[in-house]
Structure 1
Amino acid sequence: MRLPLEQPKSFPKRRYPPNQKVSLLLSTSQVSYSKDMSDAINEIKRRLSIVDVVQEYIPLKKAGSNWRARCPFHNEKSPSFMVSEDKQIWHCFGCSEGGDVFGFVKKIEGLEFPETLRMLAAKAHVTLDSYRPENSNKKTEALDTIQQAAGFYHDRLLRDADAQVARDYAKKRGLTLETVEDFEVGYAPETWDAVRTHLDEKGFSDQQMLDAGLIIKSERSRGYYDRFRDRLMFPIHDVQGSVIAFGGRMLKDGEGAKYLNSPETTMYHKSQVLFNIHRARQAIRTADAAIVMEGYMDVITAYQAGIHNVVASSGTALTLEQVKLLRRYTKNILFAFDMDEAGQEAARRGAIVAWQLDVNVRVVVSPSAKDPDEGIRKSKEAFVRAIKQAPLFMDYFIDTLAAKVKLGNVEGKKKFTQEVLPLLAALQDVVERSHYVQRLASLVQVESSVIEQALSRVVQITAQRRGSGGDVATSQVPAKPAAATNSQQNVFIRRILALIIQYPEQLAFIIQKLDPENIEDPYFSDLYRNMIIYYTKRNAFDWKGFIQTFPQAVNDDHRVTALLLDENEVISQDINAQTVQLELQTLLNRLERSSILQYIFTLEQQIKIAEDQGNQNQLDQLGREFQHYMGRLNTLS
């Protein structure tokens, strides 16, 4: 895991003016494009070369008619990421991701489609004003309203005499003017209607302010009052850099919460947002690690100190949606929570959630400070050292617990095991789990088999409690050869279809050998079935005519891009029909072999059950089937 901490001192802010209005609500699966929208998308594709766009992110090398690179979406030693300049598509043969220029930018930037469209439209100098969907109005208006409020709060902090307490607090916490401006920190005046009055003068309605979560309807009258009063204000941004909410810190002792966040709105869902993600995402990708903190000040202090791959969960336990957001950029998360009991419990719960998505979890241990903010202000060097030395969470949890529990007696060993087992059950990697089973067994001085039996019971009990919709973080998922076989089958099917596209005259040969019903993947099965329909009606096949006749067969599925790129490792450009058929027959044999292996695995499970039940008749029948398919398997070797 790479942990370079020093990043450039600033990153460009993404602030979009109010008149740049594009839907923020729609995803590619929800959009039915109007003709105008489709025209805009096509115009963007016409103006932008996918090679130029991709090369802004990763270096490409010419490889025949295509371009090649190491995939930016998974770790690989040999480059398998291909870009076709002619077809304006990309595909990675290592992780099977692929698509057009929109798909690449959407994935590498971690954006939704509307934001991707807006970014590429700006790059291509295509105006989108006339393409705005009507159902985006409410959210766009709320964004305009809250952006205006952010400017108002920020200006008050810098200029108002009444904001001196807020300025003193920021100075006391060590914030520079540059940091205050960069994070757009603000001040909400103590009066009841400061922001409402300001926004009213700017032409915003009470309903728009309500939709943005800025005001509250009075229960005593028909009026409204400001939600945030006499607070230091921290704007919360979405991934693209638009302000979508606020966190406000109380400045004086009194009633009310120390921190007050915006309510849930059309644009702000607390469980899906991470403070500072828009600034940190590139640094997270570069460092291949995200440092998750609890509070706004922790993050701001770290960022000011040059540690840029930092985000905050805004005082809540890390959610699955937030982990998914981070997973776009890295598989490594470091928790730098407060060192109190609540912070450690938040780390434990966060680890269980993160493990669901196969994320490596570490914990930053700063024993000399109660929180990261204090630790960094005391000694940035010591905090950086703690990041570099951050232990895996499981090791940290076991070591910390072992120091508290007396392992010299049975009660201590029992308590220790009961605390550790639920976390072991949450681990997804079988090698990692096995390692900690052995470590736990060593600490409590029992055989590993004893821990494995206890762990199995924990997994079963957890699964029973949660039912069929159980949380995968606490239920073991055994390895299934069938799943691997299905994935392998897709590789063979993809290569067969790629050969047919390149040598369409071979479709007649394949039709005699392969039934669509024998293809388990619904997408490839439907694609192949439609190819047969097209061929049957015309007694010929060509790809361009096919996609015009069956556009839905290739719409919005990145897997078809693999069929369109030249797979130089698999497909030779100048081979005769006999050689092509030999290659196709080899692939068909491998396809049948993978299906048989899958069925044999099922037979082995059934045979084991029949043996346990002492059912000799079923054993004889299953044994004959087993021998038959093993014989067929030998002929395909």
Structure 2
Amino acid sequence: MTSSPVEEIKQRLDLVEVIGEYITLRPAGKYHKALCPFHHEKTPSFMVDRENGIWHCFGCAKGGDVFSFVQELEGMEFVEALRLLAKKANVDLPRYDPSLQNQKTRLHECLALAASFYHQTLLKSTEAEAARQYIKERRISDDMVEQFLIGYSPNAWDGALKALQGRGYSAEEIYLAGLAIQKEKGAGHYDRFRNRLMFTIRDAHGTVVGFGGRVLPPAPEDAAKYINSPQSLVYNKSQVVYGLDQAKTAIKEAGFTIVVEGYMDLIASHQAGVKNVVASSGTAFTQDQLRLIKRYSPNLRICFDEDPAGASATRRSIDLALTEAMDVRVIRLSNAKDPDELIRTKPESWPQAVASAVRFMDDAFDRTLVKLDLKQVDDKKRAAAALLPIIARLPDGVEQTHYLQKLAEAIRVDEQVLRRQINRSAAPAGPAVESTPAEAKLDRRARLSEQALSILISCPELIREAASKLAADWLTESDQALYKLLRDHYSENHDSSEANFQASLRSMAGPLAEKISLLLLLAEREWPEASADELHSELRSINRYLEQLSLDQTLANLKADIRAAESAGDSARTNQLINHFHEVSKKRQLVSR
């Protein structure tokens, strides 16, 4: 019998499976590793220990259990993560969660009922005939209508209001859910969405959070083409990506995300069999949205409308994607203004266009140079002015050099001239791909101390030699207790197998058990598949560096003591300290050889 729902959830859920829904994990011995979703890096520092239910990134130092991972990645409070994981683990929470019927929950339920109301209205109401005809003209199948919960909002001032109030929701709750508008004069509310085709917006978990309502023909000239739900307690536009709930699995399978502009583009793509697609809903992506997408793949394929607004949105999205170190390509369309039009006329062309996506820099070159006469000096300057700022932002030096050479050849200007122009313009540089703030904060001694212990725990047969070669005071103070525990445990269990030694060590380590698990992850990250001889050699190197650091600290302390003795006029003490300083200096020189 588990003592709490938290422990029951941990027991039922496989940490690797949960984390694997967000990022791509690869086996690393008995662990799994990945590029960290919390900071930029090229070499995987993120490790997962399925057996002990923990994860840790050795780059940014974040780590924890299944709850902390979901909280960190989803930006959730603990109670929200508890509900999400309880549902996934099929653990009943009513008696543990007295706040289940809080305001957010009420609003989510209200929005889900609204989605059902709009959907059923589209399917059954005679008033929705024009909407059904429009869907037919756009060649949207019944399956897509069902899958994306497309609906119709009645051409009435209180259609949704009355339906939802009839289910027990107050006008205030309906207003807070973004479904109603307060009257400017007098009391009361009226429906926000009227006589519109309704697109249900869901978060990455499939929870309804808002709607997009498209005007239906014929419509007044001044009518907004789309009306969207406002920001609310449950809907943050900058943190929700339309269609992600339906695309997550396909994105991981394909290895990249396709970004289109509109709801119709996305639905048409699904209908054509290309499902790793999300929509920006008519705007460039925000930083938060790109980070959300990056959880599933760092590779992006953009296909916005072939018009000035689409080109501008593409540029803004690329700029943001570069700051996230994402690989960006552009899908080109021929004889169509958007994916929806292409799929309606030539559905077989869409998968081909996706497969033929080009690097965004190559697309930028083609779009820029085609309009210029590169024999003219003014057009050469225009080409450089358009392309150099983008090249300057490329995070990879090899890629940057490639496109500098390409531009130099195209406009017949020396590459070094262009490079100097980049330097003079002080264009914002691309992000550092490796960002390891926690490692920068840890001093060298702390890192070496952890590395030494990680080797000893992963290869216990080296503990006997370490006991005579590795002085405890070389390690950090926090690691010395674990080192003593290791030696004591080995003296009593030196005949145990490696796995049994580690298991028994963890079982009696008390508060140090988690540290032991993290050190085993560190060993797997630093020395995967290393033999005992290789670990022995590495340990000797670490011992030597630790001794050097210890002696350096001793010398620094002696210098301070000598200055103090000289200031006090204590010549006997000064001479004694100087002699000791020389002895330690000689030892330091020997260790360096």
Deviation at 1:223, TM superposition (A): 1.2
1:52 and 1:175, CA in 2 relative to 1: closer, same or farther beyond 3 A?
closer
For residue 457 of structure 1, report the CA deviation from its aligned partner: 2.1
Q: Is the 8 A contact 2:48 2:521 kept in 1?
A: no
Give the corresponding residue for 2:572.
none
1:167 is matched with: 132
Q: How far is the alpha carbon of 1:202 from its aligned partner? A: 0.6
What SS class does the counterpart of residue 247 from structure 1 fall into?
Answer: strand
Shift of 1:341: 1.4
Supply the AA of the counterpart residue of 2:124: R
**Matching residue of 2:294:** 327
For residues 586 and 84 of structure 1, do their structure 2 counterparts lie closer, same or farther at Cα, with a shift above 3 Å needed?
farther
Contact 2:325 2:433 in 1 (8 A): no
Residues 431-467 of structure 1 show CA distances to partners (whole Å, capped at 9, x for unaligned) of 1111111111111111111111111122x2x5xxxxx
1:496 aligned onto 2:496: no
Amino acid at match of 2:386: E
Q: Tell me what 1:149 maps to.
A: 114
Q: Which runs of 5+ in 1 are unaligned?
A: 1-36, 463-473, 517-528, 596-628
Amino acid at match of 1:434: T
Larger CA Rg, structure 1 vs 2 = 2
Separation in 2 of the partners of 1:94 and 1:346?
33
Q: State the percentage of identical aligned residues.
A: 36
**Structure 1 pair 385–212 and aligned structure 2 pair: CA distance change class (3 A):** same
- In the superposition, relative to structure 1, how do residues 265 and 383 fare at CA in structure 2: closer, same or farther (>3 Å)? same
Render the CA deviation track for 1:345-391: whole Å, top value 9, x for unaligned: 11111111101111111111112101110011111222211111111
Distance 1:398 1:448 in 2: 16
- CA RMSD, aligned part only? 4.7
Question: Corresponding residue for 2:429?
Answer: 475
In the TM superposition, residue 125 of structure 1 has moved relative to its aligned partner by: 3.5
Larger CA deviation: 477-486 vs 171-180: 477-486
Name the CA shift for 1:226/1:559 in 2 (closer, same or farther; >3 Å). farther
**Which residue type is aligned with residue 562 of structure 1?**
L
The CA distance in 2 between the partners of 1:405 and 1:324, in whole Å, is 36
Deviations 1:394-436 (A, max 9, x none): 1001111100122111110111111112211221111111111
SS at match of 1:383: helix
Tell me how far 1:271 sits from its aligned partner. Answer: 1.4
- Pick the aligned partner of 1:453 from 384, 401, 420: 420
Partner amino acid for 2:521? A
Q: Which residue of 1 aligns with 2:473?
A: 512
Q: Aligned in 2, Cα 1:592/1:244: closer, same or farther, shift over 3 Å?
A: farther
CA distance in 2, matches of 1:345, 1:633: 62
Gaps of 5+ in 2: 490-504, 551-584
Q: Say if 1:444 and 1:479 are closer, same or farther in 2 by CA, change over 3 A.
A: same
**Aligned equivalent of 1:344:** 311
Q: Whole-Å Cα distance in 2 between the matches of residues 285 and 594 of structure 1?
A: 46
The question of whether the paired residues in 1 share the 8 Å contact of 2:59 and 2:439 is answered with no
- Tell me if structure 2 keeps the 8 A contact 1:50–1:101: yes
Report the counterpart of residue 530 of structure 1 in structure 2.
478
Question: Are the counterparts in 2 of residues 273 and 322 from structure 1 also a CA contact under 8 Å?
Answer: yes
Paired residues of 1:297 and 1:373 also in contact (CA < 8 A): yes
**Residues 440 and 214 of structure 1: CA distance in aligned 2, closer, same or farther (over 3 Å):** same
Corresponding letter in the other structure for 1:218: K
Per the TM alignment, residue 308 of structure 1 is displaced from its structure 2 partner at its CA by: 0.2
- Quick one: which amino acid aligns to residue 541 of structure 2? T
Of the three residues 318, 322, 345, the one matched with 2:285 is 318
Give the match for residue 609 of structure 1. Answer: none
How many residue pairs match? The answer is 530
Which residue number corresponds to residue 347 of structure 2?
Answer: 380
What residue is the counterpart of 1:371 in the other structure?
338
SS of the residue corresponding to residue 129 of structure 1 reads coil
For 1:145, give the aligned amino acid. Answer: C
Write the distance in 1 (CA, Å) between the matches of 2:435 and 2:56.
Answer: 26
Return the letter of the residue paired with 1:512. D
Asked if structure 1 preserves the Cα contact closer than 8 Å seen for 2:259 and 2:303, the reply is: yes
Structure 1 335/453 Cα, relative in aligned 2: closer, same or farther at 3 Å?
Answer: same
**What is the aligned partner in structure 1 of residue 275 from structure 2?**
308
Tell me the SS of whatever aligns to 2:95: helix
- 2:472 maps to a residue whose letter is I
CA shift in 2, pair 1:204/1:108, >3 Å? closer
Deviates more, 1:192-201 or 1:498-507: 498-507
Q: Taking structure 1 as the reference length, what is the TM-score of the superposition?
A: 0.71
TM-superposed deviation, 1:43: 1.7
Of 205, 216, 220 in structure 2, the residue corresponding to residue 240 of structure 1 is 205
